[in-house]
Amino acid sequence: MSEANYTISDLETLSGIKAHTIRIWEKRYHIISPSRSNTNIRFYSNDDLKLLLNISFLNKNDFKISKIAEMNPQEISEKVSSINIVKSSSDDYIDNLIVSMIDLNEAYFEKIFSSALFRIGFEKAITEVIFPFLQRIGLMWQTGSINPAQEHFTSNLIRQKLIVAIDSLPKTYDEKAPKAILFLPEKELHENSLLLYNYILKSKGYQTFYFGQTVPTSDLKRILKITAAKTIICVITSELKEKDFATLMGELQQLSKNRKILLSGRMLVENPQKLPKHIHLFKNETELKQLI
Protein backbone atom coordinates (compact mmCIF):
# COMPACT_ATOMS: atom_id res chain seq x y z
CA MET A 1 0.00 0.00 0.00
CA SER A 2 1.30 3.43 -0.88
CA GLU A 3 2.09 5.94 1.84
CA ALA A 4 -0.45 8.75 1.69
CA ASN A 5 0.49 12.38 2.15
CA TYR A 6 -2.81 14.21 2.61
CA THR A 7 -3.08 17.82 3.66
CA ILE A 8 -6.07 18.85 5.73
CA SER A 9 -7.47 20.41 2.55
CA ASP A 10 -7.20 16.99 0.84
CA LEU A 11 -9.08 15.40 3.73
CA GLU A 12 -11.83 18.02 3.42
CA THR A 13 -12.19 17.32 -0.31
CA LEU A 14 -12.20 13.53 0.03
CA SER A 15 -14.37 13.25 3.13
CA GLY A 16 -16.68 16.25 2.78
CA ILE A 17 -15.90 17.23 6.38
CA LYS A 18 -14.88 20.86 6.80
CA ALA A 19 -11.26 21.47 7.76
CA HIS A 20 -12.48 23.56 10.70
CA THR A 21 -14.47 20.58 12.01
CA ILE A 22 -11.49 18.24 11.58
CA ARG A 23 -9.31 20.59 13.62
CA ILE A 24 -11.93 20.76 16.39
CA TRP A 25 -12.13 16.96 16.50
CA GLU A 26 -8.34 16.80 16.69
CA LYS A 27 -8.00 19.31 19.53
CA ARG A 28 -11.06 18.51 21.58
CA TYR A 29 -11.34 14.75 21.16
CA HIS A 30 -7.86 13.72 19.89
CA ILE A 31 -9.60 11.52 17.31
CA ILE A 32 -6.85 11.78 14.72
CA SER A 33 -3.30 13.03 15.05
CA PRO A 34 -1.49 14.27 11.94
CA SER A 35 2.15 13.41 11.39
CA ARG A 36 4.74 16.03 10.55
CA SER A 37 7.32 16.14 7.79
CA ASN A 38 10.98 17.01 8.32
CA THR A 39 9.99 20.60 7.56
CA ASN A 40 7.23 20.49 10.20
CA ILE A 41 4.35 20.34 7.69
CA ARG A 42 1.28 18.45 8.95
CA PHE A 43 0.08 15.51 6.86
CA TYR A 44 -2.35 12.60 7.20
CA SER A 45 -2.24 8.94 6.23
CA ASN A 46 -4.66 6.50 4.58
CA ASP A 47 -5.49 5.22 8.07
CA ASP A 48 -6.39 8.78 9.10
CA LEU A 49 -8.68 9.15 6.08
CA LYS A 50 -10.33 5.78 6.72
CA LEU A 51 -10.86 6.64 10.39
CA LEU A 52 -12.30 10.04 9.52
CA LEU A 53 -14.75 8.52 7.02
CA ASN A 54 -15.87 5.95 9.58
CA ILE A 55 -16.32 8.61 12.27
CA SER A 56 -18.36 10.74 9.88
CA PHE A 57 -20.57 7.77 9.04
CA LEU A 58 -21.24 6.99 12.70
CA ASN A 59 -21.90 10.65 13.43
CA LYS A 60 -24.50 10.76 10.62
CA ASN A 61 -26.09 7.69 12.20
CA ASP A 62 -26.72 9.47 15.52
CA PHE A 63 -23.51 8.59 17.36
CA LYS A 64 -22.20 11.55 19.32
CA ILE A 65 -18.60 12.55 18.67
CA SER A 66 -17.84 12.34 22.39
CA LYS A 67 -18.94 8.68 22.40
CA ILE A 68 -17.04 7.87 19.20
CA ALA A 69 -13.90 9.39 20.74
CA GLU A 70 -14.05 6.76 23.48
CA MET A 71 -13.73 3.94 20.91
CA ASN A 72 -10.48 2.70 19.39
CA PRO A 73 -10.17 2.47 15.58
CA GLN A 74 -11.02 -1.26 15.57
CA GLU A 75 -14.19 -0.68 17.59
CA ILE A 76 -15.18 2.17 15.27
CA SER A 77 -14.68 -0.04 12.21
CA GLU A 78 -16.72 -2.88 13.76
CA LYS A 79 -19.52 -0.48 14.68
CA VAL A 80 -19.65 0.85 11.10
CA SER A 81 -19.81 -2.71 9.72
CA SER A 82 -22.69 -3.58 12.05
CA ILE A 83 -24.92 -0.71 10.91
CA ASN A 84 -27.59 -1.45 8.33
CA ILE A 85 -26.59 0.83 5.45
CA VAL A 86 -29.73 0.27 3.35
CA LYS A 87 -31.01 3.71 4.36
CA SER A 88 -27.70 5.46 3.69
CA SER A 89 -27.26 8.35 1.28
CA SER A 90 -25.13 8.20 -1.86
CA ASP A 91 -22.37 10.11 -0.05
CA ASP A 92 -22.33 7.49 2.70
CA TYR A 93 -22.02 4.71 0.15
CA ILE A 94 -19.13 6.52 -1.52
CA ASP A 95 -17.32 7.05 1.80
CA ASN A 96 -17.65 3.36 2.62
CA LEU A 97 -16.48 2.32 -0.84
CA ILE A 98 -13.31 4.36 -0.28
CA VAL A 99 -12.74 2.43 2.95
CA SER A 100 -13.26 -0.88 1.13
CA MET A 101 -10.71 0.20 -1.51
CA ILE A 102 -8.09 1.30 1.03
CA ASP A 103 -8.41 -2.09 2.79
CA LEU A 104 -8.79 -4.11 -0.45
CA ASN A 105 -11.90 -5.55 1.21
CA GLU A 106 -14.08 -7.23 -1.41
CA ALA A 107 -16.66 -8.47 1.11
CA TYR A 108 -17.27 -4.92 2.34
CA PHE A 109 -17.46 -3.64 -1.25
CA GLU A 110 -20.12 -6.28 -1.96
CA LYS A 111 -22.13 -5.26 1.10
CA ILE A 112 -22.15 -1.60 0.12
CA PHE A 113 -22.92 -2.20 -3.55
CA SER A 114 -25.72 -4.67 -2.71
CA SER A 115 -27.24 -2.13 -0.35
CA ALA A 116 -27.18 0.60 -3.00
CA LEU A 117 -28.61 -1.84 -5.55
CA PHE A 118 -31.49 -2.70 -3.22
CA ARG A 119 -32.27 0.93 -2.41
CA ILE A 120 -31.98 2.71 -5.77
CA GLY A 121 -31.61 0.06 -8.49
CA PHE A 122 -28.70 -0.84 -10.75
CA GLU A 123 -28.53 2.17 -13.05
CA LYS A 124 -28.70 4.73 -10.24
CA ALA A 125 -26.27 2.70 -8.15
CA ILE A 126 -23.77 3.07 -10.98
CA THR A 127 -24.46 6.71 -11.88
CA GLU A 128 -25.10 8.14 -8.39
CA VAL A 129 -22.65 6.04 -6.36
CA ILE A 130 -20.04 4.25 -8.47
CA PHE A 131 -19.15 7.03 -10.92
CA PRO A 132 -18.87 9.75 -8.22
CA PHE A 133 -16.77 7.25 -6.27
CA LEU A 134 -14.46 6.88 -9.28
CA GLN A 135 -14.18 10.68 -9.44
CA ARG A 136 -13.08 10.69 -5.80
CA ILE A 137 -10.50 8.03 -6.68
CA GLY A 138 -9.24 10.46 -9.33
CA LEU A 139 -8.64 13.02 -6.57
CA MET A 140 -6.74 10.40 -4.59
CA TRP A 141 -4.55 9.74 -7.62
CA GLN A 142 -3.67 13.43 -7.68
CA THR A 143 -2.40 13.25 -4.09
CA GLY A 144 -0.47 10.04 -4.80
CA SER A 145 -2.32 8.35 -1.96
CA ILE A 146 -3.43 5.16 -3.70
CA ASN A 147 -1.38 2.78 -5.77
CA PRO A 148 -2.38 1.09 -9.05
CA ALA A 149 -3.24 -2.17 -7.26
CA GLN A 150 -5.93 -0.48 -5.16
CA GLU A 151 -7.47 1.29 -8.15
CA HIS A 152 -7.34 -1.81 -10.37
CA PHE A 153 -8.84 -3.96 -7.61
CA THR A 154 -11.88 -1.71 -7.30
CA SER A 155 -12.27 -0.95 -11.01
CA ASN A 156 -12.31 -4.66 -11.80
CA LEU A 157 -15.01 -5.30 -9.21
CA ILE A 158 -17.10 -2.57 -10.84
CA ARG A 159 -16.38 -3.99 -14.29
CA GLN A 160 -17.63 -7.42 -13.17
CA LYS A 161 -20.89 -5.87 -11.94
CA LEU A 162 -21.47 -4.10 -15.24
CA ILE A 163 -20.76 -7.22 -17.31
CA VAL A 164 -23.12 -9.36 -15.21
CA ALA A 165 -25.86 -6.71 -15.54
CA ILE A 166 -25.40 -6.54 -19.32
CA ASP A 167 -25.51 -10.32 -19.60
CA SER A 168 -28.78 -10.42 -17.66
CA LEU A 169 -30.59 -8.24 -20.22
CA PRO A 170 -32.74 -9.86 -22.92
CA LYS A 171 -30.77 -10.50 -26.11
CA THR A 172 -31.90 -8.59 -29.22
CA TYR A 173 -31.42 -10.29 -32.59
CA ASP A 174 -34.21 -8.50 -34.45
CA GLU A 175 -32.79 -7.25 -37.76
CA LYS A 176 -35.00 -4.17 -37.47
CA ALA A 177 -33.58 -3.21 -34.07
CA PRO A 178 -31.39 -0.08 -34.06
CA LYS A 179 -27.70 -0.96 -34.09
CA ALA A 180 -24.80 0.73 -32.29
CA ILE A 181 -21.05 0.24 -32.16
CA LEU A 182 -19.24 1.03 -28.91
CA PHE A 183 -15.45 1.36 -28.72
CA LEU A 184 -12.51 3.08 -27.05
CA PRO A 185 -9.86 4.73 -29.23
CA GLU A 186 -6.28 3.46 -29.41
CA LYS A 187 -4.38 3.44 -26.08
CA GLU A 188 -7.61 4.10 -24.14
CA LEU A 189 -8.16 1.51 -21.40
CA HIS A 190 -10.81 3.05 -19.09
CA GLU A 191 -13.79 0.88 -19.96
CA ASN A 192 -16.40 1.20 -17.21
CA SER A 193 -18.27 4.18 -18.69
CA LEU A 194 -18.50 2.44 -22.06
CA LEU A 195 -19.85 -0.69 -20.38
CA LEU A 196 -22.59 1.37 -18.71
CA TYR A 197 -23.55 2.92 -22.05
CA ASN A 198 -23.68 -0.57 -23.55
CA TYR A 199 -26.06 -1.57 -20.73
CA ILE A 200 -28.27 1.47 -21.40
CA LEU A 201 -28.50 0.87 -25.15
CA LYS A 202 -29.28 -2.82 -24.71
CA SER A 203 -31.97 -1.97 -22.15
CA LYS A 204 -33.52 0.36 -24.77
CA GLY A 205 -33.74 -2.43 -27.35
CA TYR A 206 -30.55 -1.71 -29.32
CA GLN A 207 -28.46 -4.44 -30.86
CA THR A 208 -24.98 -3.44 -29.78
CA PHE A 209 -21.54 -4.38 -31.06
CA TYR A 210 -19.14 -3.88 -28.19
CA PHE A 211 -15.45 -3.72 -29.13
CA GLY A 212 -13.99 -2.33 -25.92
CA GLN A 213 -10.47 -1.05 -25.45
CA THR A 214 -7.94 0.48 -27.88
CA VAL A 215 -9.69 0.00 -31.23
CA PRO A 216 -7.99 1.55 -34.30
CA THR A 217 -10.41 3.88 -36.07
CA SER A 218 -9.37 2.36 -39.39
CA ASP A 219 -10.98 -0.94 -38.32
CA LEU A 220 -14.37 0.76 -37.94
CA LYS A 221 -14.86 1.07 -41.70
CA ARG A 222 -14.93 -2.70 -42.11
CA ILE A 223 -17.03 -3.12 -38.96
CA LEU A 224 -19.61 -0.62 -40.24
CA LYS A 225 -19.95 -2.49 -43.53
CA ILE A 226 -20.63 -5.74 -41.69
CA THR A 227 -23.00 -4.38 -39.04
CA ALA A 228 -24.75 -1.51 -40.87
CA ALA A 229 -24.84 0.29 -37.51
CA LYS A 230 -26.17 3.85 -37.54
CA THR A 231 -24.82 4.90 -34.12
CA ILE A 232 -21.19 4.99 -32.97
CA ILE A 233 -20.30 5.68 -29.33
CA CYS A 234 -16.76 6.48 -28.24
CA VAL A 235 -15.46 7.40 -24.76
CA ILE A 236 -12.24 9.39 -24.27
CA THR A 237 -10.98 9.49 -20.69
CA SER A 238 -7.20 9.98 -21.01
CA GLU A 239 -5.66 13.21 -22.26
CA LEU A 240 -4.92 13.26 -26.00
CA LYS A 241 -2.34 15.44 -27.67
CA GLU A 242 -3.91 18.13 -29.82
CA LYS A 243 -2.63 16.50 -33.00
CA ASP A 244 -3.93 13.04 -32.03
CA PHE A 245 -7.33 14.46 -31.08
CA ALA A 246 -7.62 16.29 -34.41
CA THR A 247 -6.72 13.09 -36.26
CA LEU A 248 -9.33 11.08 -34.36
CA MET A 249 -12.03 13.69 -35.03
CA GLY A 250 -11.16 13.76 -38.71
CA GLU A 251 -11.39 9.98 -38.98
CA LEU A 252 -14.72 9.89 -37.12
CA GLN A 253 -16.13 12.68 -39.28
CA GLN A 254 -15.41 10.58 -42.36
CA LEU A 255 -17.61 7.86 -40.85
CA SER A 256 -20.48 10.20 -39.94
CA LYS A 257 -22.40 10.11 -43.24
CA ASN A 258 -25.94 8.98 -42.37
CA ARG A 259 -24.67 7.97 -38.92
CA LYS A 260 -24.79 9.45 -35.45
CA ILE A 261 -21.38 9.80 -33.74
CA LEU A 262 -21.66 10.26 -29.97
CA LEU A 263 -18.67 11.09 -27.78
CA SER A 264 -18.24 11.23 -24.02
CA GLY A 265 -15.54 10.88 -21.36
CA ARG A 266 -13.70 12.94 -18.77
CA MET A 267 -11.23 14.37 -21.27
CA LEU A 268 -14.07 16.00 -23.26
CA VAL A 269 -16.38 16.90 -20.37
CA GLU A 270 -13.67 18.62 -18.29
CA ASN A 271 -11.92 20.21 -21.29
CA PRO A 272 -14.62 21.04 -23.85
CA GLN A 273 -13.40 20.86 -27.43
CA LYS A 274 -14.91 22.18 -30.64
CA LEU A 275 -16.31 19.11 -32.35
CA PRO A 276 -16.88 18.63 -36.08
CA LYS A 277 -20.37 18.76 -37.50
CA HIS A 278 -22.39 15.56 -36.98
CA ILE A 279 -20.34 14.60 -33.90
CA HIS A 280 -22.20 15.13 -30.61
CA LEU A 281 -20.98 15.29 -27.01
CA PHE A 282 -22.98 13.80 -24.13
CA LYS A 283 -21.91 14.27 -20.51
CA ASN A 284 -23.86 11.49 -18.80
CA GLU A 285 -26.38 8.71 -19.23
CA THR A 286 -29.33 11.15 -19.18
CA GLU A 287 -27.99 13.08 -22.17
CA LEU A 288 -27.21 9.80 -23.95
CA LYS A 289 -30.83 8.70 -23.58
CA GLN A 290 -31.96 12.00 -25.10
CA LEU A 291 -29.63 11.61 -28.07
CA ILE A 292 -30.70 8.05 -28.88
pLDDT tens track for 46-90: 888 888 988 888 888 889 999 999 999 889 888 887 876 656 678
Asked if 250 and 143 sit in the same domain, the reply is no
Q: How many domains does the chain have?
A: 2
Asked if 31 and 127 sit in the same domain, the reply is yes
Domain end position, chosen among 109, 142, 166: 166
Of the ranges 86-90, 136-140, 141-145, 272-276, which one carries the lowest mean pLDDT score? 141-145
> What mean pLDDT, rounded, does the chain reach?
86
Domain that holds residue 278: 171-291
pLDDT tens track for 92-138: 888 889 888 888 899 989 988 998 998 889 888 988 898 888 878 77
Asked if 183 and 148 sit in the same domain, the reply is no
Is 2 among the domain residues?
no
Asked if 145 and 180 sit in the same domain, the reply is no
Residue 2 pLDDT: 45
For residue 229, the tally of other CB atoms under 10 A from its CB is 21
Is 261 among the domain residues?
yes
Average pLDDT over residues 244-252: 88
SS (H, E, C) 130-166: HHHHHHHHHHHHHHCCCCHHHHHHHHHHHHHHHHHHH
Asked if 32 and 116 sit in the same domain, the reply is yes
Asked if 178 and 160 sit in the same domain, the reply is no
In the chain the first and final C-alpha atoms are separated, in Å, by 43
Domain end position, chosen among 126, 142, 166: 166
The phi, psi pair for 37, rounded to 5°, reads -75, 175
**213/226 Cα distance (integer angstroms):** 20
DSSP E strand boundaries for 17-120: 35-36, 42-43
Asked if 139 and 195 sit in the same domain, the reply is no
Is 3 among the domain residues?
no
**239/252 Cα distance (integer angstroms):** 18
Read off the CATH number of the domain in which 146 is found.
Answer: 1.10.1660.10
Domain end position, chosen among 166, 189, 213: 166
